């Protein structure tokens, strides 16, 4: 039975109002006092003007907005002593032809024309000196700078790999409130739905198993849905997706891609927003996000955000509640030292969880056809998940232009799955009877990750270059337990409505215990032999140890990185890169021995373009990934109850084309096309065919000009190429045959009306033409439908 409309709205409104009033009382007085500051102490060493201004913005607590080309060739004498903001700017910008303008907490650096007026800028950049550009409030779809690839803070054009960034503006425009939605909008990424609670992301034909949070890697336990894909976007400023192998910054992993989720930062003045949302299938959501200074000087700043969602679904007897909380504080220990500490918390409480999808074939080999609303899960089934973490970091800026960071995070991902789901091919000769499988699983993964690194300039052969040195320690411990596993008949599969008795789970039947340790040191250098040529060289040395249930060890694993970028002119650059990644195996061969670690060598070359001073970026890449020990299923050993695998070589080839940014004033776009193909070396057989070879996505928004400028319209389109997989046909003595899905298009629409500077309403419509399609066609010979047409109406108040 659905919950009533009014109590849900009342709960959302009360929770939003309460959070706002509490947050407002904490920071409003501090914000007023901050504006009274007249002078402060600065300690900035001489150096290139760009570095000096970045340190000035950090020490003054201001956002820096400047076009990078305005800073080229300028040196600064630095700044030491007591100065007001304006006095400090005058000294730093003397004899540069530049002028600084302070608006609120934003410092805008512009060039003065011959007439004495500042020239307007095409590109705005707000820098975090270790992670790149903060995308929030830039209204941009392009990132500015990023650091995911090599720890060097570079623009997309300066990075010799394909990097996609979903910014805060893109997420807000299209109501991308969770990581699944972000991945659905990301060019080159396929989202596979296994059941109501589990999704798997694929890039270039490989599952994405490594996530980073603020650049620090955490491994995902995909099989047990341990909360990694819960991430609510209320917490994050942007999501960076680095394509190809990422061993230099992650250590072990797969060569498809790595996700880097960058958290929001505290603000230097009182700001925030509240939202109230309502959508299809009784889907309600509210957000509160507030930040600002917490003391008179503004040297302590904080931010708190929360989101609550109560939603039903297009699936019968399924509903879910999601909760997310986030808090972060920054402490200026000195003009050059910053301490940060924070936490985040996500929890999902579903009812009617499915376990797997819908059987593809019945006992006669006919395709099973059911409504998209059909839910194989029992009405009592629930797969609860949670994820919470604590993180802290210490940043210091040295007088020689170097910066250092020490980072530690502790994350817990857990699950409590009490599952029952209709499973198996309907028996046509027995009134389409089927059976219910049931099981209970509980567990959690505790991850400790620490990293320390420093970066800065150095002189060599009369030119300035950059260097990063770092070390990391990672510990991941998963402990799980399984209770009773059972099956029972449920009668006619097509009449299943989820009603059944919940089993008595009894005592624990089996346990899991896996401990993963990684220790590594790494270095990256960016050499500039000429103004037009950059050479990036890096290496990581990793010790990897998997113990407890499985035993695998890799000692002294060397991960090289080589990248070269050549600027053809002010717009285009040619680039090429080589790197690798490894993943120790848990698969066994026919003799019961573990396979060798799967190593993926990643090659990429292409051309990148940058227009309008970086507001529009594009790239065209050819990529190739070579695997030495890819595990392939061969047979099942019934004596040991273990699957048998063998190692093989495989090669992935493809091209990737992306464009992101502002095509014209008020017109943003993010689009990409990917073609990939994976073949086994020994017989040229195609692999990973249940992922499309051709994938195209485009999302765009346009703010109307003139009298209609309060209205923004937009939309998106996705093309997923045909896919196929080999399945066993019960009508043919379980012989394998090919099952395929034809190519399909999806379309989305959005419209936003800005009533005032603070108040807006946005309507998002997904799957506009209500397309029938599958998000998975071979998970235990099951398939899963994609969502029906749905919509969401969001009202937002900024303050």
pLDDT tens figures, 626-673: 998 888 888 888 877 788 999 899 999 999 999 999 999 899 999 999
Asked if 291 contacts 303 with a C-beta cutoff of 8 angstroms, the reply is yes
Which residues of the chain form CATH 3.55.50.30? 37-121
pLDDT for 580 beyond 80 = yes
> 773 pairs with which residues across the strands?
none
What does the pLDDT read at residue 69?
57
Phi, psi angles (nearest 5°) of residue 156: -55, -35
Rg of the chain over Cα atoms, rounded to whole angstroms, equals: 27
pLDDT for 307 beyond 50 = yes
Read off the pLDDT band of 425 (50, 70, 90): very high
Smallest Cα–Cα separation from 632: which of 598, 581, 602, 600?
Answer: 598
Which residues of the chain form CATH 2.40.170.20? 156-346+359-419+429-484+511-798
Give the residue-averaged pLDDT of 488-499: 94
What does the pLDDT read at residue 611?
92
CA dihedral 532, 533, 534, 537 (to 10 degrees): 180
What does the pLDDT read at residue 779?
87
For residue 348, what are its two tokens? 């999902």
> 577 pairs with which residues across the strands?
563, 604
Read off the pLDDT band of 105 (50, 70, 90): low
Which of 323 and 86 is assigned the larger pLDDT? Answer: 323
Residue 398 in 3-state DSSP?
A: coil
How far, in whole angstroms, is CA 48 from its chain's centroid?
Answer: 33
What does the pLDDT read at residue 575?
98
- For residue 632, give every residue at least 6 positions away whose Cβ sits within 8 Å of its Cβ, in sequence order, or none: 645, 646, 647, 648, 680
- For residue 530, give every residue at least 6 positions away whose Cβ sits within 8 Å of its Cβ, in sequence order, or none: none
What does the pLDDT read at residue 572?
97
What does the pLDDT read at residue 222?
56
Asked if 171 contacts 264 with a C-beta cutoff of 8 angstroms, the reply is no
What does the pLDDT read at residue 226?
65
Q: What kind of fold does domain 156-346+359-419+429-484+511-798 have according to CATH?
A: Maltoporin; Chain A (2.40.170)
What whole-number distance in Å separates Cα of residue 20 and Cα of residue 460?
53
What does the pLDDT read at residue 48?
76
Over residues 738-786, the pLDDT tens digits come to 999 999 999 999 999 999 999 999 999 999 999 999 999 988 889 999 9
Over residues 538-577, the pLDDT tens digits come to 999 999 998 988 888 889 999 999 999 999 999 999 999 9
What whole-number distance in Å separates Cα of residue 80 and Cα of residue 58?
14
pLDDT for 66 beyond 80 = no
- For residue 763, give every residue at least 6 positions away whose Cβ sits within 8 Å of its Cβ, in sequence order, or none: 749, 750, 751, 752, 791, 792, 793, 794
Range scoring the smallest mean pLDDT among 36-45, 245-254, 761-770:
36-45
Vertex 104, ends 54 and 72: CA angle to 5°? Answer: 30
3 state SS for 86-146? HHHHHHHCCCCCEEEEEECCEEEEEEECCCCCEECCCCCCCEECCCEECCCCCCCCCCCCE
pLDDT for 113 beyond 50 = no
Give the residue-averaged pLDDT of 12-19: 39
Which of 308 and 104 is assigned the larger pLDDT? Answer: 308
Which of 352 and 58 is assigned the larger pLDDT? Answer: 352
What whole-number distance in Å separates Cα of residue 377 and Cα of residue 316?
9
Range scoring the smallest mean pLDDT among 11-15, 454-458, 634-638:
11-15
pLDDT for 223 beyond 70 = no
- For residue 220, give every residue at least 6 positions away whose Cβ sits within 8 Å of its Cβ, in sequence order, or none: 208, 209, 210, 211, 226, 228, 229
Cα distances from 640 to residues 177, 225, 590, 592, 637, in angstroms, run 44, 26, 11, 9, 6
What does the pLDDT read at residue 7?
39
Beta-sheet strands, E only, within 681-758? 686-687, 694-703, 711-720, 723-729, 735-741, 744-754
Smallest Cα–Cα separation from 190: which of 243, 145, 137, 148?
Answer: 243
Which of 390 and 91 is assigned the larger pLDDT? Answer: 390
What does the pLDDT read at residue 414?
92
Which of 428 and 123 is assigned the larger pLDDT? Answer: 428
pTM of the full predicted structure?
Answer: 0.85
What whole-number distance in Å separates Cα of residue 281 and Cα of residue 373?
12
pLDDT for 18 beyond 50 = no
pLDDT for 120 beyond 50 = no
What does the pLDDT read at residue 269?
87
Smallest Cα–Cα separation from 716: which of 754, 751, 757, 742?
Answer: 751
What does the pLDDT read at residue 67?
63
What does the pLDDT read at residue 229?
78
Which of 5 and 792 is assigned the larger pLDDT? Answer: 792
Give the residue-averaged pLDDT of 319-324: 97
Phi, psi angles (nearest 5°) of residue 168: -60, -40
Give the residue-averaged pLDDT of 594-609: 91
What does the pLDDT read at residue 746?
98
Smallest Cα–Cα separation from 170: which of 260, 238, 123, 124?
Answer: 238
pLDDT for 285 beyond 60 = yes
What does the pLDDT read at residue 225?
60
What does the pLDDT read at residue 531?
92
What whole-number distance in Å separates Cα of residue 196 and Cα of residue 319?
10
What does the pLDDT read at residue 88?
84
Asked if 749 contacts 755 with a C-beta cutoff of 8 angstroms, the reply is no
What whole-number distance in Å separates Cα of residue 406 and Cα of residue 392?
8
What does the pLDDT read at residue 764?
98
What whole-number distance in Å separates Cα of residue 379 and Cα of residue 772?
25
Read off the pLDDT band of 129 (50, 70, 90): low
pLDDT for 496 beyond 60 = yes
Read off the pLDDT band of 6 (50, 70, 90): very low
What does the pLDDT read at residue 658?
98
What whole-number distance in Å separates Cα of residue 39 and Cα of residue 438?
67
The number of residues in the chain equals: 799
Task: Report the mean per-residue pLDDT for the chain.
Answer: 88
Range scoring the smallest mean pLDDT among 106-110, 218-222, 424-428, 450-454:
218-222
What does the pLDDT read at residue 584?
81
- For residue 665, give every residue at least 6 positions away whose Cβ sits within 8 Å of its Cβ, in sequence order, or none: none
Q: What kind of fold does domain 37-121 have according to CATH?
A: Phage tail protein beta-alpha-beta fold (3.55.50)
Which of 238 and 31 is assigned the larger pLDDT? Answer: 238
């Amino acid at each position: 039975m659905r919950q009533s409309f009014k109590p849900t709205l009342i709960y959302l409104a009360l929770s939003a109002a309460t959070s706002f009033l509490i947050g407002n009382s904490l920071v409003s007085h501090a914000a007023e006092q901050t504006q009274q500051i007249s002078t402060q102490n600065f300690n900035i060493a001489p150096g290139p003007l760009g570095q000096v201004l970045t340190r000035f913005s950090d020490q003054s607590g201001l956002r820096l907005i400047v076009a990078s080309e305005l800073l080229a060739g300028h040196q600064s004498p630095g700044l030491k002593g007591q100065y007001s903001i304006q006095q400090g700017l005058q000294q730093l910008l003397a004899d540069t032809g530049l002028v600084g303008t302070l608006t609120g907490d934003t410092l805008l650096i512009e060039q003065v024309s011959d007439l004495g007026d500042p020239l307007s800028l095409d590109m705005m950049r707000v820098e975090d000196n270790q992670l790149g550009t903060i995308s929030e409030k830039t209204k941009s779809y392009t990132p500015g700078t990023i650091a995911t690839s090599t720890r060097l803070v570079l623009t997309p054009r300066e990075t010799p790999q394909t990097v996609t960034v979903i910014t805060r503006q893109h997420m807000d425009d299209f109501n991308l409130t969770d990581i699944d939605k972000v991945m659905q909008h990301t060019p080159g990424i396929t989202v596979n739905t296994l059941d109501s609670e589990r999704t798997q992301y694929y890039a270039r034909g490989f599952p994405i198993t490594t996530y980073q949070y603020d650049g620090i890697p955490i491994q995902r336990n995909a099989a047990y849905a341990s909360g990694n894909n819960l991430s609510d976007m209320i917490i994050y400023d942007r999501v960076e997706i680095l394509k190809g192998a990422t061993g230099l910054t992650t250590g072990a992993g797969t060569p498809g891609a790595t996700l880097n989720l960058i958290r929001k930062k505290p603000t230097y003045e009182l700001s925030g927003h509240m939202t109230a949302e309502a959508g299809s299938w009784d889907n309600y959501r509210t957000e509160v996000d507030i930040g600002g200074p917490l003391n008179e000087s503004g040297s302590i700043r904080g931010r708190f955000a929360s989101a609550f969602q109560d939603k039903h679904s297009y699936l019968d007897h399924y509903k879910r509640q999601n909760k997310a909380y986030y808090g972060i504080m920054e402490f200026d220990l000195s003009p050059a030292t910053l301490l940060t500490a924070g936490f985040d918390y996500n929890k999902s409480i579903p009812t009617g969880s499915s376990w797997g999808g819908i059987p593809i074939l019945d006992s006669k080999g006919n395709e099973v056809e059911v409504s998209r609303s059909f839910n194989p899960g029992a009405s009592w089934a629930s797969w609860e998940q949670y994820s919470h973490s604590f993180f802290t970091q210490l940043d210091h800026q040295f007088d020689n232009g170097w910066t250092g960071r020490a980072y530690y995070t502790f994350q817990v991902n857990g699950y409590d799955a009490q599952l029952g789901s209709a499973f198996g091919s309907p028996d046509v000769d027995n009134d389409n009877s089927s059976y219910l499988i049931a099981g209970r699983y509980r567990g959690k993964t505790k991850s400790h990750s620490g990293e320390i690194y420093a970066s800065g300039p150095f002189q060599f052969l009369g030119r300035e270059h950059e260097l990063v040195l770092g070390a990391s320690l990672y510990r991941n411990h998963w402990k799980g337990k399984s209770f009773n596993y059972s099956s029972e008949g449920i009668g006619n599969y097509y009449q299943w409505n989820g009603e059944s008795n919940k089993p008595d789970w009894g005592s624990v039947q089996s346990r899991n215990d896996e401990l993963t340790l990684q220790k590594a040191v790494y270095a990256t250098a960016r050499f500039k032999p000429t103004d037009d040529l950059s050479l990036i060289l890096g290496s990581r040395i990793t010790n990897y140890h998997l113990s407890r249930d499985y035993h695998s060890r890799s000692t002294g694993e060397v991960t090289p990185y080589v990248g070269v970028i050549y600027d053809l002119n002010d717009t285009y650059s040619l680039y090429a890169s080589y790197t690798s990644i490894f993943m120790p195996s848990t698969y066994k061969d026919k003799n019961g021995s573990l396979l060798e670690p799967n190593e993926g060598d990643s090659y990429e070359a292409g051309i990148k373009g940058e227009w309008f001073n970086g507001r529009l970026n594009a790239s065209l890449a050819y990529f190739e990934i070579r695997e030495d020990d890819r595990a392939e299923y061969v047979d099942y050993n019934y004596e040991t109850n273990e699957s048998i695998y063998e190692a093989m070589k495989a090669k992935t080839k493809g091209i990737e084309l992306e464009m992101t940014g502002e095509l014209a004033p008020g017109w943003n776009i993010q689009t990409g096309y990917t073609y990939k193909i994976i073949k086994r070396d020994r017989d040229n057989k195609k692999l990973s065919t249940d992922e499309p070879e051709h994938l195209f996505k485009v999302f765009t928004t346009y703010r109307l000009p003139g009298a209609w400028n309060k209205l923004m319209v937009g939309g998106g389109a996705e093309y997923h190429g045909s896919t196929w997989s080999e399945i066993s046909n019960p009508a043919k003595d379980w012989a394998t045959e090919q099952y395929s899905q034809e190519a399909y298009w999806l379309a989305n629409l959005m419209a936003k009306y800005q009533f005032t500077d603070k108040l807006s309403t946005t309507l998002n419509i997904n799957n506009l033409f209500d397309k029938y399609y599958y998000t998975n066609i071979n998970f235990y010979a099951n398939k899963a439908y994609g969502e029906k047409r749905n919509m969401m109406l969001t009202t937002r108040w900024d303050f």
